[in-house]
Amino acid sequence: MMESSPDLANKVKAKIQYNAINCRKHSAVITEFGAVGDGKTSNTKAFNEAITKLAPKAADGGVQLIVPPGKWLTGSFNLTSHFTLFIHKDATILASQDESEYPVVAPLPSYGQGRDAAGPTFASLISGTNLTDVVITGNNGTINGQGKYWWVKYRSGGFKNITRPYTLEIKFSKDIQISNITIIDSPAWNIHPVYCSNVIVKSVTILAPIDSPNTDGINPDSCTNTLIEDCYVVSGDDCIAVKSGWDQFGIKVGMPTQQLSIRRLTCISPDSAGIALGSEMSGGIKDVRMEDIVLLQTQSAIRIKTAVGRGGYVKDIFARRFIMKTMKYVFWMSGAYNQHPASGYDPKAMPEITNINYRDMIAENVTQPARLDGFTNDPFTKICMSNIKIALAAEPKKLLWNCTAISGVSSKVTPKPCSLLPEKAPVNCAFPVDKIPVESVVLNKCSA
């Protein structure tokens, strides 16, 4: 005899425990709104109806929506404030491959167009705008973006005037937690908090084929006070890409990414960076701390990407305690990342790259320790590298350190850096001793 829906809901709720920035007074299960977890029935209406009906309760002590065991097919849906989406360990949210289930939305103001094409974008699978206190968590439940459909159409030129959906995009919001979930096969970027503050991304696993297009792992974009920790990413693009807007649009909005801490990340991305700063950095990137990072078969460890016309800055960057195995480059800085919006960027808008600090790192099987290319009329300055040991691959590049238009110092770095990073008496490159505010947040133990 099958359990009734209320009995099943109560049974599921009884087993829910998790850690979060805030616990909730009210609780519901997606089946209470007609959802069917057979992997075939569209639940887009059920998810949107659930959140709409639960919103008044969210305002009265908060509400959690539980996704129980099953495969829950859905298109795009929007979250509300004081809300938790909990994905059970045996639950999978399956992203619809029906384009009609993703509303078309205007591009972000700091980008001026979609990232794939000069036009609007599909709404992300899970979205939210102007929210406060949102938690997306589970006990390692899964979101499957079913990206193959989107990748194939993108590569064949099928999206001429529109950008693919991301998996998670939260905009103009504060007090956001994304934790203890697995995301696989995103159509494009996986997690994209943009114009947000007080963001925690914790204990998230992201998996995509290493040749999948633009499947960036976590992209904090024009965000303040963000913590990314204990994450595992296998990606076809940068595992983490720090951004703040694109050319004239990013300059006009002028919202930097700042106060960002990235720690205990493991990354595999053979064709991209472990952590990229840019290329869309026109609103500025500053005060980024990276530590205790493991990079395996990754094109580069930290890559600073910019171009003429970007404007903005990348400054006050601090990295330490990296372990790297099988890398094309360890350090890569490029001023020639010449992707621009359709028109109108200012070729006189030059970026400032300064106060970049790398220390206490070990790498093995490296083809080229560094490729550092500033602008002749706008050099990258105040680069510091200390206590770094790089073991070369069997067939390394003949020119180990390729440096142009940069300046800085080095200390106890092997192989010996280029002459533009001269050896100084023992130096420990800077790393802040203070914490950014979000690092002091203590999560609460919550249940249904």
- Check: CB of residue 407 under 8 Å from CB of residue 420: yes
Burial 367-404 (b: 16+ CB within 10 A, else e): bbbbbbbbbeeebbbbbbbbbbebebeeebbeebbebb
- Report the Cα 15 to chain-centroid distance in Å: 30
Active site residues: 237
Of residues 170, 169, 125, the one with CA closest to residue 150: 125
Q: Pull the structure tokens for residue 8.
A: 């099943």
HEC sequence for the chain: CCCCHHHHHHHHHHCCEEEECCCCCEEEEHHHHCCCCEEEEECHHHHHHHHHHHHHHHCCCCEEEEECCEEEEECCEECCCCEEEEECCCEEEEECCCHHHCCEECCCCCCCCCCCCCCCEECCCEEEECCEEEEEEECCEEEECCCHHHHHHHHCCCCCCCECCCCEEEECCEEEEEECEEEECCCCCCEEEECCEEEEEECCEEECCCCCCCCCCECCECCEEEEEEEEEEECCCCCEEEECECHHHHHHHCCCEEEEEEEEEEEECCCCEEEEECCCECCCEEEEEEEEEEEEEECEEEEEECECCCCCEEEEEEEEEEEEEEEEEEEEEECECCCCCCCCCCCCCCCEEEEEEEEEEEEEEEEEEEEEECECCECEEEEEEEEEEEEECCCCCCCCEEEECEEEEEEEEECCCCCCCCECCCCCCCCCCCCCHHHHCCCEEEEC
